[in-house]
């Protein structure tokens, strides 16, 4: 995982109007305004050089999607907030089973928090929330992950009580970062890098 800076991302000119229209339609109709996040997809892709924010892979079988870091089902107030948008591949974004290992992964609508932590009900409460999922748009988070030469994603730090280790373990599962196809792609990339050094 690499830090992706979306602070300077430029939305389309009419983005503000689109958001205003979508918000005026009410929380029950969020799904009718997917154009708000879809119109940001190209800018998000450019920010990551076409790679999924979570697993850094270019998805060769689909053109990816705009994921809500805080799922719009649990955080309706965040459905149209541009700083909640992440470009994601289908491995990371959707629940699916790894045919080779039988393991199920993918973020889906999950957004676990540390025990005892209150879910944010408005933007002002985000600073009090402690998500268990690493955020590629938070500069402090990507370093919590490391990759072995066999392609496996692993926590970068030791200590079962270390919060960043706990978050790394949770994120590896939630983003399906050790899906066999991703792991194999990383292993091959590691070999290529080794051969070119």
Q: 105 near 179, Cβ under 8 Å?
A: yes
For residue 154, the SS3 value is strand
What element of type H or E holds 146?
strand 145-147
Q: Single out the segment in contact with Zn ion by CB under 5 A; choices: 76-84, 87-95, 97-105, 153-161.
A: 87-95
44 is an interface residue for Zn ion by CB under 5 A: no
Token pair of 43 as six digits: 């800018």
**Least CB distance from residue 71 to Zn ion, whole Å?**
16
Q: Pairing mode, if any, of strands 96-97 and 65-68?
A: unpaired
Size of site (CB under 5 A) for Zn ion: 6
Q: Between residue 62 and residue 81, which ones bind Zn ion under the rule CB under 5 A?
A: none
CB of 107 to Zn ion, least distance (A): 9
Distances (CA, A) of 148 to 21, 153, 156, 165, 177: 47, 7, 10, 16, 12
Query: Which residue of 4, 44, 47, 52 would you call a contact of Zn ion, by CB under 5 A?
Result: 52
Task: Tell me if 83 sits within 8 A of 19, measured CB to CB.
Answer: no
Nearer of residues 125 and 146 to Zn ion, judged by Cβ: 146
Q: Is residue 179 packed enough to be buried (19+ CB in 10 Å), middle (13-18) or exposed (0-12)? A: buried
DSSP 120: P
Residues 90-109 that bind Zn ion (CB under 5 A): 91-92
- Structural tokens at position 151: 């392609």
Binding segment for Zn ion among 29-37, 39-47, 61-69, 83-91 (CB under 5 A)?
83-91
Q: Which is nearer to Zn ion, 52 or 120 (CB)?
A: 52
Of 1, 47, 89, 174, the one binding Zn ion by CB under 5 A: 89
The single residue listed with the structure tokens 């955080």 is 75
Complex with Zn ion: residue 75 or 91, whichever CB lies closer: 91
Q: Binding to Zn ion by residue 54, rule CB under 5 A?
A: yes
Binding to Zn ion by residue 153, rule CB under 5 A?
A: no
CB 75 within 8 A of CB 39: no
- Tell me the closest approach of the beta carbon of residue 182 to Zn ion, in angstroms: 7
Query: Cβ 157 to Zn ion, closest distance in Å?
Result: 22
- Provide the 3-class DSSP secondary structure of residue 34: coil
CB of 100 to Zn ion, least distance (A): 17
Instruction: Name the site residues for Zn ion (rule: CB under 5 A).
Output: 52, 54-55, 89, 91-92
């Amino acid at each position: 995982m690499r830090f992706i800076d979306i602070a300077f991302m430029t939305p389309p000119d009419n983005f503000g109007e689109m958001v205003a229209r979508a918000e005026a339609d009410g929380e029950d109709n969020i799904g009718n305004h997917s154009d708000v996040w879809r119109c940001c997809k190209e800018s998000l892709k450019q920010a990551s050089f076409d790679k999924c924010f979570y697993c850094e892979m270019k998805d060769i079988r689909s053109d990816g999607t705009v994921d809500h870091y805080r799922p719009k089902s649990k955080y309706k107030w965040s459905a149209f907030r541009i700083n909640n948008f992440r470009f994601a591949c289908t491995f990371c974004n959707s629940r699916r089973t790894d045919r080779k290992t039988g393991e199920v992964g993918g973020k889906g609508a999950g957004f676990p928090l540390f025990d005892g932590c209150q879910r944010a009900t408005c933007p002002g409460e985000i600073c009090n929330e402690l998500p268990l999922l690493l955020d590629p748009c938070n500069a402090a988070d990507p370093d919590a992950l490391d990759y072995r030469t066999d392609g496996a994603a692993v926590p970068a730090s030791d200590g079962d009580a270390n919060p960043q280790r706990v978050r790394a373990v949770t994120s590896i599962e939630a983003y399906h970062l050790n899906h066999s196809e991703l792991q194999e792609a990383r292993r091959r990339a590691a070999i290529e890098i080794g051969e070119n050094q």
